[in-house]
Structure 1
Amino acid sequence: MSKLPFPFRKLGLPLLFLSLLSIPFCVISQGQATDELAALLNLKQQWGNPPALQSWTSSSPTLCGWPEINCTGGSVTGLLLEDMNITEPIPPSICDLKSLTQLNLSWNYIPGGFPRALYNCSKLQILDLSQNYFVGPIPSDIDQLSGLTYLDVGGNNFSGDIPAEIGRLRGLQTLNLYQNQFNGTFPKEIGDLANLEVLRMAYNDEFVPAMIPKEFGQLKKLRFLWMKQCNLIDGIPESFSNLSSLEHLDLSGNALTGGIPGGLFSLQNLSYVYLFHNQLSGALPTSISSKNLIEIDLAMNDLTGSIPEDFGTLQSLRLLNLFWNQLSGHIPVGIAQLPSLIDFRVFDNKLSGVLPPEFGLYSPLEAFEISNNNLSGELPKTLCTNGVLLGVVAYSNNLSGQVPESLGNCNSLRTIQLYNNNFSGELPSGIWTLLNLSSLTVSQNSFSGGLPRKLAWNLSRVEISNNRFSGPIPAEVSSWSSLAVLKASNNLFSGNVPEELTSLSRLIVLSMDGNQLSGELPSKIISWKSLTSLNFSKNNLSGQIPAALGSLPDLLDLDLSDNKFSGVIPPELGNLRLTTLNLSSNRLGGRIPDGFNNLVYENSFLSNPDLCAGDPMPNIRSCYTRSSKSNKVPSKYLALILVLAIAAVLAAVLFALFVIREYWRKKLRRDLATWKLTSFQRLGFTEASILSNLTDNTIIGSGGSGKVYRVAVNDLGDYVAVKRIWNSRKLDWRQEKEFAAEVEILGSIRHSNIVKLLCCISSENSKLLVYEYMENQSLDKWLHRNKRASTLKGSSPRRALLDWPTRLQIAKGAAQGLGYMHHDCSPPIIHRDVKSSNILLDFQFKAKVADFGLAKMLAKHGESHDMSAVAGSFGYFAPEYAYSTKVNEKIDVYSFGVVLLELVTGRQPNSGDENTSLTEWAWRHYVEGKPITDALDEEIKEPCNVDEMATVFKLALVCTSRSPSTRPPMKEVLHILQKCSPSDGKKVGPEFDFTPLLGTATYLSSYRRSKKADDSLVYSA
């Protein structure tokens, strides 16, 4: 000791003493680490050694280095076991970790009730059990977890009441109870949580209907309140004006009534207000002093009065949704001057006055939707000043003047909807060629000018009817390659119809009626294989009706009336399965083709004096008249001539059949070697039996890529359906792509509600897909084409009508097939072309989803897939196609919603009214408060099924919501359809109150198993 330097000599004994004391402390610390290691390894074993925890071994140098472990002072304080594929309950031994303060077990598959074993974790502060499979009630003794500051049990299956004892967890700062199956009540004692900052209770719509407790107004520290779809009733408590820290308020999708508390918009920290789709009434608060407001969504209520001028002072406001209310008066000028405004939607109100001229000048405006109001004046010239405007939706107002030239330079635009206004002059020339424009609808105005020689590459819909457009159809129309809909009725177009118009392969609807077109229709039709509706009525067209029209495989509606066509009606038209046909008021003569010689088409040929009918038809003379006796050949000679003629014909036919049979037998033997058969099922036939029966007599239909045959495979009456994709040279890239997609998908999936692909047979220049045969063909033939008279041989019009129970069963079957594709296939499958013609029916009317030529395998569940171009069928398109080619399963949900509307209304997808689709018509019918029963199909509506039909009608509206995120997943759609006609025979109960869903139709189900997110992402889901 004496050898130590002086300063240390005085400290020597204390230091020695302290060093001796440290020896047992080190031993204790080492012992604790050993205990914690043993506890963790025991925990891993009790969970069945999940692969994600393979790094937990006794040989690890230190457990505090494990990524799932947080340590403080050498002790385990945190277990971060999110998304570890844990499937076993939480063992009591977890609390052997004596210092544990944080436990995150979210995004696993843990079953059982609330884990009371955690009560022994005395230091626990943060507990996250979200997105698991917990069931049963939240226990009433949950207050034993007295140290909790964060509790998340969202995304589980807890039920019953939320206990009042939860209000005793006085240290709670975050409480997440969202998306469970609570079917009881929630307590007012939550208002006692004085430290609570975040409360999420959304998507618990099975709560007993209840008012928001006024005690919630005591939560002075509350920043985030999310009670969307919680079955809330009555008004918003005035005490909410005391929530001085509130930043985010979402009470949407409930049944709240009354006015909005006047002090709510005076909360200084308030940034987000979502009260859409309630039953709020009265005027908006006129005094708004919260300068932090970023988003206000008060849409789909019953608000009246004017838009407060104070909205124009909200300098941080990015979103203002006030649509579907009863607001009147003018739009405050200050709103147009807001520097951050991105989304402005006030459509479907009673607003009037002139639009403020500065919209878009000061802010990055993207959405501008003001349709269905009484607004007047001109469109603001500054809408696209910042170059990010996506859509101008201003139809059905009293707007006038010319469309601003600036819109012709706005390449970000994807849709322009200005129909039903008083605009005049020419459209800016740049609009026709905007880089991203996909939809241009300007019908019912006074626009003039001619058609452009060039269209935007992505422009698929052009509607310019009821204007003053004039001039010829340019020959350069052949470059309009993406065009699917061209409606140009009732204008002043003149000149011939160029053959180049028939080269538009994607064209679905062409309406040029009510113009001054002349000359003949092109005799050669190049590429109209997708055309379903053709209308050239009320023009000056002449010459013969082109026989080539009879080769259009999908044509349903043909109107050539009020022209000067002459000659005979081409017999080829009889090959079409038309829903409507009108050739009236022409100069046609000769005999009506046999396919049209029935009462279904009795009004299709009026005012053609030289036409005659083989069978009696009203207003059409018979082709047979009595001859005089002097001109008759004696009957005995007639009989002899007839016998000889028949004998000669039979001999010739037999000889020809023999020659043909030998030819094809030899050819088949030569060609069989070039065919390759790939089977997906056990087959009872060979490729030879298929190939030898592909004749015109076995054709039962045709589509965009080939013909469909019904082929007998044995003598027992068993058939298969054969889809032939044929090209005399080689398949083009699109057909190759469709073929590969269909084989890839159907060859790998098995489901009773998905059409069974038996095999594929391919050669160098032809490919065959062989399916099980569906006796009753497609749903659309029963819903639409058979209404006028059955197109099925041997059926009467009455027998061809589907009753409601059958329609409901078809809906369930199709939903089961799509649900399997979306939720049970890995990776999931989107169909992309769901429509009634792709739902096939077997002999028992069991539905099966078919035609996967456009389907795509998604790389990962929940992720959107980028498509190079819009595909599918017009009338079934989801609205996001107007803005983006990013698609996911929700586009199938939308299309299926259209099918549901077809089933309950009997209408076709494009038959809303003059300017709307079936979806738009149904939504307007609902929003305007008209009785749903008025929209139902009168031919099948009975008192016993009205409730079920009304439920399906509402479900269809939910499925066709504008926003993809607000549409339910197919498993939820199927659940509701199954409850419509339960096995116990009980009628549809109150659980199908769609009031909180319609409008935004918001569901969280798609969020349930998506990756976790922060507060904003959780809300946006």
Structure 2
Amino acid sequence: MSARIRRLLVVIAFIQISITTSQNSDRVALQALKHAWQGPPLSSWRDGSDPCGGDWVGITCTNSRVTSIILSSTGLTGGLPGDIGQFTELVVLDLSYNTGLTGSLTSAIGNLPKLTNLILVGCNFNGPIPKTIGNLERLRYLSLNSNGFTGTIPASIGRLKNLYWLDLSDNQLTGGLPVSDGVEPGLDMLTHAKHFHLGDNKLSGDIPLGLFNSNMTLIHLLFDHNSLTGNIPSTLSLVVTLEVVRLDRNSLSGDVPSNINRLTNVTEMYLSNNLLTGPVPNLTGMNRLNYLDLSNNSFDQSDIPSWFSTLQSLTTIKMHFTNLVGELPATLFSIPQLQNVDLSNNRINGSLDISSNPSTQLELVDLRTNLISDFSQQRQYAAGVYTFGLILLANPICTESGATENEFCSLPTKTSASYSTPSNNCVPPPCGSDLVSSPNCQCAYPFTGLFSFKAPSFSSMTNASIYDSLHNLLTLFFRNATLPVDSLSLKNPSRNLEDYLVITLEVFPSGQPSFNRTGIIGVAFALSNQTFKPKTDFNTYTFNAESYKFFSESISEGAKSKTSNTGIIIGSAVGGCVLAVLLVLAGMYAIRQKGRAEKAVQHNQPFALWDPTSASGGVPQLKGARSFTFEELRKYTDNFSETSQIGAGGYGNVYKGSFPNGQLIAIKRARQGSTQGGLEFKTELELLSRVHHKNVVGLIGFCFDQGEQMLVYEYIVNGTLKDSLSGRSGIRLDWMRRLKIALGAARGLQYLHDLADPPIIHRDVKTNNILLDQRLVAKVADFGLSKPLSDANRTHITTQVKGTMGYMDPEYYMTQQLTEKSDVYSFGVVMLELITARNPIERGKYIVREVKQVMDKNKELYNLHEILDPTIGLSSQLKGLEKYVDLSLRCVDEKGNQRPGMSEIVKELESIMTFVGLNPGSEPSTSASYEGTDKDYSHPYSNDSLFAYSGGILPPKMHPK
């Protein structure tokens, strides 16, 4: 054999050894994943079998190497081990919609050089996004949305030159937006990216001027619902490819750049709920604009813009609270596709002229709280010629004699969209538990999830043809993708807090009642990977699916199991005789242990001996609270649907519901493993059933049925005081309203301390636990940590320290002795938060210390101008502020015996209100003129603070954002 042949054989052998080693490395890594995870698809991952032989669900190979792991919506639980970095040929990793996947994202994720798609939508991963993610040079899709990631956005993402889709929305990310500086990369380097989705986080700081450049090809820029500050950078206009811009629900200030109308491709623009000033932006030339929202900004008083009637593509224009002045042109209402006009709470005057030929799509014109004195088409409107809704409430035209009879001088009855995909010319049959009738009238287990369209071009919620169009697009898509789909249904369209269009999707299997695991993976991946592209009316979306529990393999395995059990039953009969003897002996021992066990159960499970239908031991002492069954509450909340959810926390979720008579309710539902256990549930239930005061949230009832723990409250429409101070609710609080809110909350706490029987220490007073009703009346909420004061402990209670950092009484923390003055301290912090709109602890600075450091009693307003909330009003309007600050600082005295009681606080707040010319006995003015009256804001009926402290050592840097 020649030397050349021998060398060739050595090379071939080396290659074969390398391939075999790599294949073994993949097998070892898959076994590590199987060990780290639990879930239905792993039953096909059999030890010793070939993962590339086609039997391993979710695993795809090329040349005997693992190139894709797709296990979306399959019920996986566990963490993502570092062994994932061994799949050096991996191209696609999709673990979306597995809420049981938790823990941090391993830095080994950066060891996947060929990865193009990293999709972890709707899991529960947390911790920082590792910097090593910047090593994935081939990455095109990065979707980490709807998790719990914290920390800053890694600057290393700027190295992903091939990135097309960046979605980090709906997390807990903080800090600023990274921009390259010659040393570190930044987002400005992603010139091939089309999508920046960073909304629903806690990002802060200015939007850097260098973030945008003319080389970028972005089409969707979504930065909404963060804490971004500073100006909108003028460089934004350089990205002429932009089609959707969402900067709303931040704290952006200054003028809107004068060159913003260079973005002539933009179809949807949201700049609402900021602190923008200067002139109303000139949008002349933005002829493709469909949806415009500039509401709730502090623009200079401005005449009606000339571009109002020139933007002929508009479907929606929202500009309430924007200081508009003048008479509306009749041509505005003739824009062909116009559906919704909201110009309420401005200074629009003169005569309203709708024109003789308004848009046939027009549904609502809201001009409430303006200065309109006449309506040219009043008779035609009264005669029903016009089919759209018109609101002129709180205009001069509605103050004339007899004007209240006009339909447009009152709020129209609100109707919700009730669309549901109709059946295909068939009669839906009755279906069993969990089975649903498909549009083809077949009972099946559908794959279900929620579409969230973040920038639809329309505002209509009642036009069925829009949803029919989406249904047809989805049907065609699934058919062309050759997925095992029989039909699909869309239902319950609604708008959520972020003004996203949310629609429930049900996908039904073909040829059998349920999907197999491969089918679910295919359907889920098509939506998580953005393979489905809706038409431009719907624009960008996210899809969040429920984990699928009805795999056909599981059902078949269950049937086989029943057959095989027949033989087992015969053998068991013999063994049962022996077992009976053993049970008699065990029973004798159990009787001896019964007393001890019952005491332990009563301590750990305070409801364990409670039968709601009898007067057995452990029954909470209730006064007037109604008992609900689980089935009743499930009906009132549309089966606890995601669209009904209005809040979430460590304890569980809060849902909005309604009784058959239309009364709205809020339902706090505990989940397993919640931070509040049965004892706290029973405490809150017993305490709340005894308290009845207009400044304390009302308990309607409870549910202790089928293992559920739920509390049913009155629904408080305007959400939390924290929402209003942060700007999330859209309600603007001036000095007078803040005084009234402070007085209302103080009266609620005074009632708890002095008049409740027994007296109650709240123990968690904070702005998240003060709610505002439709008249902005303050109501104290959340009694999960509260403690009653019995006759034996009227002075104090020695107890484990619990509460929220920043509001907690330092004396209580040091001594563990809880007194009424602990609530006073927390209320003092709330008073300071009311005038500054700052978190108690922000960027390491404590609000009490900040106020004390800058205040100077020898200067106007105690020299507090720099830290006062800019929206509170002008300095000349803040009469009585000094007295208010003096009172709040007495409340936060380090020594409890130096603090005033709540009754004294109430008297002093009443005195301040009298001093400023307000009647302390009057109710706050209605919020009807403030945005947010009819919206669903988060409700803190649970201990939902991520910073709730329940004893032990305080973690470092523990401060809310």
TM-score normalised by structure 2 residue count: 0.47
Larger radius of gyration: 1
TM-score, with length taken from structure 1: 0.45
